[in-house]
Structure 1
Amino acid sequence: MPYRFTVEDVAFLRSPAGEQALDAVARLALTPASMLADVADVRRHHPDHDAALIETVRCRRRAAGRLRNPHRLLASDDAVQQATASMVAAHRAADLAARHPGAVVHDVTCSIGAELVELAAAPGLGGVIGSDLDRVRLAMARHNTADPDIVAGAPPTLLVADALTPTSTADVVVADPARRTGGSRVFRLDQLTPPLPDVLTAYAGRPLVVKCAPGLDYRQLREQFGVVGEVQVTSLDSGVREACLWVGPGIGDAQRATVLRTTPDGSVWAEEITSAEPDDVGAAGDPGRWLIDPDGAVVRAGLVRHYAHRHHLWQLDPQIAYLTGDEIPLGARGFRILERLDSTGDKVLRKSVAAHDGGSLEILVRGLDVDPDALRKRLKPKGSRQLTLVLTRIGRKGVAFVCEAGIRNDRFDGTAPQTD
């Protein structure tokens, strides 16, 4: 069971003595093999706060690469799991500032303040408010948002409040209903905490941004709950992180895919595709030089055709998300086609993989009922070359493409993409 922090724990961790103790605990391995000895060591020096110190250091390690300034973060395990990645939150904060210059933004489920940090750091907003019912998380948020190197202006105003009880006249409201209850994920919109329909009702008439799970069924939102708004699906470095619902005055029905990638210099490259763009890609046709696997945000937002139109790609089949073309778009992953097979039978696949000296074999499947791991065991590739085997369907017929190992075009300096 994860440790349950108290307000007294947070007060100690924020004190000079607590900071010194955290520095000492951070030097410990805290691995399964060393944990008994490490716990005994911490308990000997800090018997009243040993669990809080160890859990804080472990949470900081889990947050590394996801949240800003993990080395000074105060957080619980579940708060780290639920917190929005800093790069995603920063992109949204910039979006809010561009849409609502000078606005005061109120995060009504602020938790440990991961979103507040990015809102407060975004130039162009008029102020930031955070509220939560959990006093421990608010105490952590007060610490996490107090870094003057990040929050150049006034730190966010923090208060204890129920997310369903409007407590400010802020211009824009941000909410992140919890998607876990009793340790288990929930998927129904009315089972979130607080329930999504209740959040929408509480802030009707105001611009509202609600973070949801990546699998948000926006058709259900429109058909069952009558919600009109923009659904934004965001990915970071190929992993789909969230769906975000934007509703309020002036926002119409739309889908948006936001693809974020970390560049070699640590900055963030972004591409956005919306349902307002053209989606005419003509009839499905023969494959080009490359098979393109669109980013998951594009697929989940239902914008594969819009993406194809933008990048001069075309579909193999109108119902399948794989695309094809003669170049790999920036930020995308492509597979150079070596051979097309009009059969997905084991014998045909095994012969082709062997002919191309396939050894390490990535298998991708879309539109067919095939278990990649079971198929790889049956094919028993023994060669020395890395290949990718793509199984899909064109019309009602299963087809396979034997390809070179995937290449991701992340060369933001314009040079040639590198093999995965």
Structure 2
Amino acid sequence: MDTSELRELLTPEALGLLEQLPPSEGAPDAVRLVSRLRKEGHPPARVAAVLTQYRLRRKAVAKFGPFAERMLFTAPGLEQASRLAVAAQHAGRFRAAGLGSVADLGCGIGGDSMAFSALDLRVTAVERDEATAAVASYNLAPWVRTTVELGDATAFDVERAEGLWLDPARREGARRLSSPDDFSPSLDAALALAAQRPTGIKLAPGMDRALLPEGLEAQWVSDGGEVVELVLWSGALARDGIGRAALVLGAEGSAELTAAQDSADAPAGDLGEYLYEPDGAVIRARLIGDLARRLGGRMLDETIAWITADRLESTPFARAFRVLERWPLDAKRIGRELKQRGIGTVEIKKRGVDIDPAAFRKQLKPQGEGSATLVLTRVAGERAALLVERCD
């Protein structure tokens, strides 16, 4: 968002118009809306600014729920913003540590600062981009103990806050930055701040583990089955004896698997009656072995992050399947078996085999009214196809 669009947006006329727009059901509605607004005599710049926010608000509902209808956004800011449920976890960590004030350094559109503010923490939100800082000021206006400052995160006086939160920018325009040295602030700069104050540093979940420093708690978070972030915690925000954590958020609440370090894998063994697909946060945190032992199971294969067991155990850390059949990984054989069972719709999961599921499905030529899940994988080194059914 450039400054001219921002000036157009932050006028009583534009904001009032934005609040009056009806919900959109898709692209045709947006086209009709543009036509209507222009017929009503609104200037093109105002229409463009309002329509941009209108579209971003629709997209933001997935992260912010109904709060999105009262927020402003930039496209990059929305892309990187924490989901509301996840931001609440961040804020809860600061409150549990007894920290009364937090500096959100590189606050973006203010999503995490909203969560901090909602728990009555005193928040200083710092953003170096002028337009983004203005958007954050709008979003954080309801909280009198929260202020937004225009400035560089690395120049912030850490003496002004009891704890720090950093979400380094990992994009430059449309380009995703792959090197931590190019983040804003860089990973090294963020870690230097973390050495001075209790700090949380939000990173992409696929961050190269070789770059993770010793002595900080690394927590991978999944929300609704999707791994959304890795957070490094320092000082009072890090928990004693925990170096690796997998936090799983879902409709039924939250659950966490923790350990002092990466867990040793469980031995591989025979295929049991049940198959478990660990949550991505468990896999990223390398706590698969601990989960396997908790389930009384074993690894499906030494190189595959799936677990097999002889009994069914309820767990928030994995999706369970009952194994119905095991076949050689041969398309013709599998196709005949599916045809005999009247299975015409096939969900294919692959683990540890170089197969294109879409191409493989065409080879199967499934026919019938039934549906099934097929896992293409290796069992103790042997390629296999497993016909399974979900247990949840």
TM-score by length of 2: 0.89
Partner of 1:275: 259
The partner residue of 1:20 within 8, 16, 23 is: 16
Map of 1:368 onto structure 2? 353
Give the alignment's Cα RMSD to 1 decimal: 2.5
Unaligned runs of 5+ in 1: 264-268, 409-420
After superposition, the Cα gap between the structure-2 partners of 1:55 and 1:26, relative to the gap in structure 1 and judged at 3 Å, is farther
Distance 2:380 2:367 in 1: 32
Q: 1:395 to 1:407 in 2, by over 3 A?
A: closer
Which residue matches 2:80?
Answer: 82
What letter is aligned with 2:322? R
Aligned: 1:241 with 2:238: no
Match of 2:34 in 1: 39
Q: Is the 8 A contact 1:277 1:306 kept in 2?
A: no
Instruction: Please report how far the alpha carbon of residue 221 of structure 1 lies from its aligned counterpart in structure 2 after TM superposition.
Output: 2.8
Separation in 2, partners of 1:36, 1:399: 51
1:386 aligned partner: 371
| Pair 1:180-2:171 in alignment | yes
Equivalent residues in 2 for 1:58-69 (5 A)?
58-68=55-65, 69=67
Distance 1:258 1:106 in 2: 24
Q: State the distance in 1 between where 2:75 and 2:232 align.
A: 26
Pick aligned residue for 1:220 from 205, 211, 228:
211
**Cα separation, partners in 2 of 1:215 and 1:339, compared to 1, 3 Å:** same
- State the alpha-carbon separation in 2 of the partners of residues 242 and 254 from structure 1: 16
Aligned match of 1:414: none
The match for 1:160 is: 150
Mapped to 1, the partners of 2:264 and 2:212 lie a distance apart of 27
Does residue 335 of structure 1 match 2:321?
A: yes
Preserved CA contact (<8 Å) 1:205 1:249: no
Contact 1:3 1:55 in 2 (8 A): no
Residue type of the alignment partner of 2:165: V
For 1:40 and 1:250, the matched residues in 2 are separated by 52
Q: Are the aligned partners of 1:66 and 1:86 in contact in 2 as well (CA < 8 Å)?
A: yes
Q: Which amino acid counterpart does residue 20 of structure 1 have in structure 2?
A: G
My pick for the range that moved more, 319-328 or 281-290, is 281-290
Output aligned runs, 1:107-146, within 5 Å. Answer: 107-122=104-119, 125=121, 127-146=122-141
2:8 partner letter: D
Question: Structure 1 pair 5/255, CA: closer, same or farther in 2 (3 Å)?
Answer: farther
- The counterpart of 1:352, out of the listed 309, 317, 337, is 337
- How far apart, in 2, do the equivalents of 1:46 and 1:402 lie? 59
Q: Quick one: which amino acid aligns to residue 145 of structure 1?
A: L
Any conservation in 2 of the 1:4–1:76 contact (CA below 8 Å)?
Answer: no
CA distance in 2 between counterparts of 1:203 and 1:278 reads 22
Q: Is the 8 A contact 2:200 2:237 kept in 1?
A: no
User: In 2, Cα distance between the equivalents of 1:281 and 1:194?
Assistant: 35
Structure 2 counterpart of 1:416: none
- Tell me, in whole angstroms, the C-alpha distance in 2 between the residues paired with 1:110 and 1:89: 12
Q: Secondary structure of the residue that 1:66 maps to in structure 2? A: helix
Give 1:204 shift.
2.8
Give the direction of change, closer, same or farther, for the CA distance of 1:362–1:6 in structure 2 (3 Å limit). Answer: same
Q: What is the number of residues matched between the two proteins?
A: 384
Give the superposition deviation at 1:277.
Answer: 8.4
Counterpart residue identity of residue 20, structure 2: A
CA 1:310–1:102: 2 relative to 1, 3 Å: same
2:162 is aligned, of 141, 158, 171, to 171
Q: Distance in 1 between matches of 2:204 and 2:264?
A: 29
Q: CA deviation at 1:72?
A: 0.7
TM-superposed CA distance for 1:97, in Å, is 1.4
CA contact (8 A) 1:173 1:207 kept: yes
Q: Separation in 1 of the partners of 2:75 and 2:391?
A: 35
Query: Which residue identity is paired with 1:73?
Result: M
SS at match of 1:174: strand
Q: What amino acid sits opposite 1:9 in the alignment?
A: E
In the TM superposition, residue 146 of structure 1 has moved relative to its aligned partner by 3.0
Deviation at 1:36, TM superposition (A): 4.6
Q: Which amino acid aligns with 1:320?
A: I
Deviation track 1:354-399 (CA, whole Å, cap 9, x = no partner) reads 2333221011111111111110011111122211111111333212
Q: Determine the structure 2 residue equivalent to 1:255.
A: 244
C-alpha distance 172-116 of structure 1, shift in aligned 2 (>3 A): same
Gaps of 5+ in 2: none
2:198 maps to which of 191, 207, 220: 207
**1:285 alignment counterpart:** 269
For residues 3 and 206 of structure 2, what CA distance do their matches in structure 1 show? Answer: 30
Contact 1:292 1:328 in 2 (8 A): no
2:249 counterpart letter in structure 1:
L
